[in-house]
A and B are shown apart, each in its own frame.
Chain A
């Protein structure tokens, strides 16, 4: 007779603040699976966790910093990127990760996003896109699809959303990918790759929000949205970012779209330090 196997701990618990579990996320939410991919990616990349810092803003995805057992900063709404920029420049040895949501990074923090990409700050941004403001109860935002219902677009959203990979690629990001939380293996590999690649890396992670966005848009169960990902996703690595716009019924193009080399902000700053040293000697 086989004995029941009791699992006391997961080998990756060392990356989690287990004393803070259970987490606040709803059943069917994609932030948990994406967080799982993130900690497995740190492990896979072989990084020293003592040297990895996570910075989050505000919102459901902003809570990730609080569950990760790394140096972690839960900052103000939209401001994770400039906070992380200061952290990274003051200690370039740190692997700096911003893990937050679409409303946080793209709406209120949108200006910081394009400037961090432009500067090519050496950091990895994991942006959960669940198409709405989940924590405040389901309002529309700059990623909400046209015509979608939200608590502040009860007659349908009348604004066009951002195509995020196109936005950050145009701003100067050197690594840009999009996955859904159905693509767990790909997402984990992609995060590991981004963590070890110098420069500004941006990964958009499409995620269900069954409790609010899903309920308002005829997919009230986590699985509803996952089925959509299964049926409509196509992997197109190297796809032109301009052409990966999300549409109501078309393909959800996922994959790694940008992977280029460009000196990072810190690389460029070294030249400033060299010039200042020469200037001083004169």
Chain B
């Protein structure tokens, strides 16, 4: 691909557009999607940009089709993405599960709006956080990242592709309407191939190849269609050959590997940002647009002499268990503002395990919480 086909430099663009550019910089050359507010701009940008880099853009008949189309494209060896919001995210769930089961690298962007159902199509929320973790049936592990700015919409889309290729798992970018529609300066650096991860590839002859050869490790080499491997993959529980295996033993072996390949690599996957947590008595744990508001509140509290800190989650799934446990040993209280009626606060509470007080600070959506609400909560907990 010619260098001049990629954007490079400083741009004033919205988060959705930055996400599309991040995908293109990450090597994504296939996008399937369906119009939905507030994620439509991702599709619009991709429809313009992908043909310029010889990629494929297709608008499918619904989000179910979009999700399946990106799985198919990934199995043809092309990095693929879709973008949607709550209602479409719900429709994608079964086939996100298929992506997990077939171990298909791909990226799903959810620019969250308020729900349930049609909810507030044009207004912000963070209500899909638990759906991201548990939305498909069966037990599995997923990777989900949360951007707090258009810049991170760009950066984390690349990170999402890298994780999806490295671990052969769909990666969810859990954005929100505020971050998706906000326009800010976005610096697009030159992304070199060294910064991009590609899925592990088979090194054996086709007759020796097994799609899920667990002897090769938790993440197994992936052949793609048309290379002569003539492999079979199925959404049924399967053995190392990819063949259906209808037994408790096969289920045990498969699910442990699907979960462990993420769970045992949590150190590599976990990303967070901290502000003044080391001596903090009150720590605000937040993510996405809410974390930007929390940052201001924490700074204000520090000006008042309150020992406040911020833990901004970037990787939300798998959850940063270890770090929250460590902080629970030194902090008096955690405050968890989020634009839902209390979702990630459950994880904070689980990890704090009674060692620190927990204050849920919910906002039902439709607007972002104001810093005063968070500041007041910090003051109360510091007393």
Which residues in A have some Cβ–Cβ distance to B below 8 Å? 17, 20, 49-51, 53, 55, 65-66, 69-76, 79, 81-91, 93-94, 111-112, 115, 269, 272-273, 275-277, 279-280
| A residues in contact with B61, CB < 8 Å | 82, 111-112, 115
With contact pairs A55-B72, A75-B98 given, residues A86 and B51 touching in the complex (Cβ less than 8 Å): no
Judged by a CB distance under 8 angstroms, whether B75 is at the interface is yes
A-B CB contacts (within 8 Å), total count: 141
Closest residue of chain A to B101 (Cβ to Cβ) is: A76
B48 to chain A, nearest CB (A): 8
Judged by a CB distance under 8 angstroms, whether B116 is at the interface is no
- Interface digits, B90-129 against A, CB 8 Å rule (1 contact, 0 not)? 0000110010001000000000000000000000000000
Judged by a CB distance under 8 angstroms, whether B283 is at the interface is no
| B residues in contact with A115, CB < 8 Å | 60-61, 65
Are A20 and B230 within 8 A (Cβ)? no
Are B51 and A82 within 8 A (Cβ)? no
With contact pairs A50-B227, A76-B98, A90-B78 given, residues A273 and B51 touching in the complex (Cβ less than 8 Å): yes
Closest residue of chain B to A91 (Cβ to Cβ) is: B76
Closest residue of chain B to A111 (Cβ to Cβ) is: B61
Judged by a CB distance under 8 angstroms, whether B250 is at the interface is no
| A residues in contact with B231, CB < 8 Å | 71-72
Judged by a CB distance under 8 angstroms, whether B80 is at the interface is yes
- Interface digits, B30-56 against A, CB 8 Å rule (1 contact, 0 not)? 101000000000000000100110101
A91 to chain B, nearest CB (A): 4
Judged by a CB distance under 8 angstroms, whether B225 is at the interface is yes
CB proximity to A under 8 Å, residues B222-249: 224-236, 243-244
Are B227 and A94 within 8 A (Cβ)? no
B99 to chain A, nearest CB (A): 10
Are A85 and B243 within 8 A (Cβ)? no
Judged by a CB distance under 8 angstroms, whether B175 is at the interface is no
A49 to chain B, nearest CB (A): 7
Judged by a CB distance under 8 angstroms, whether B69 is at the interface is yes
B148 to chain A, nearest CB (A): 31
A66 to chain B, nearest CB (A): 6
Closest residue of chain B to A108 (Cβ to Cβ) is: B64
Are B225 and A85 within 8 A (Cβ)? no
Determine the distance from Cα of A269 to Cα of B30 in the docked complex, in whole angstroms.
13
Are A76 and B230 within 8 A (Cβ)? no
Q: Which of B30, B32, B58, B95 has the most CB of A within 10 A?
A: B58
Closest residue of chain B to A15 (Cβ to Cβ) is: B230
B192 to chain A, nearest CB (A): 22
With contact pairs A51-B226, A90-B78, A94-B226 given, residues A83 and B71 touching in the complex (Cβ less than 8 Å): yes
Are A84 and B72 within 8 A (Cβ)? yes
A selection of 9 A-B contacts at a CB cut-off of 8 Å is: A50-B227, A83-B68, A85-B60, A86-B68, A86-B72, A86-B80, A90-B72, A90-B78, A111-B65
| B residues in contact with A49, CB < 8 Å | 230
Judged by a CB distance under 8 angstroms, whether B308 is at the interface is no
Determine the distance from Cα of A112 to Cα of B56 in the docked complex, in whole angstroms.
19
| B residues in contact with A55, CB < 8 Å | 72
Are A65 and B232 within 8 A (Cβ)? yes
B256 to chain A, nearest CB (A): 22
| A residues in contact with B74, CB < 8 Å | 86, 90
Partner among B66, B77, B226 whose Cβ is within 8 Å of the Cβ of A50: B226
